[in-house]
Structure 1
Amino acid sequence: MKFIGFVGTNATRSTNRTLLQFMKKMFANEAEIELVEIKDLPMFNKPKSKELPVQVTQLAEKIAAADGVIISTPEYDHAVPAALINALNWLSYGIFPFVDKPVMITGASYGTLGSSRAQAHLRQIL
Structure 2
Amino acid sequence: MSNWPRPPAHVEPYVRILGYEGAVAFILAFGGSEVYLPMTPTAAARSPAAALIGAESVMALGLAGVSRRVPTAKPWLARVFRTEGLRVPEIARKLHATDVTVRKWLKDAPGQRWGDDRQMRLF
Identify whether the pair has TM-score above 0.5, normalized to the shorter chain: no
Please say which structure displays the higher CA radius of gyration: 2
Structure number with higher helix proportion: 2
Structure number with higher strand proportion: 1
TM, length-normalised to structure 2: 0.30
Q: Which has the higher contact order (CA 8 A, sep 6+)?
A: 1
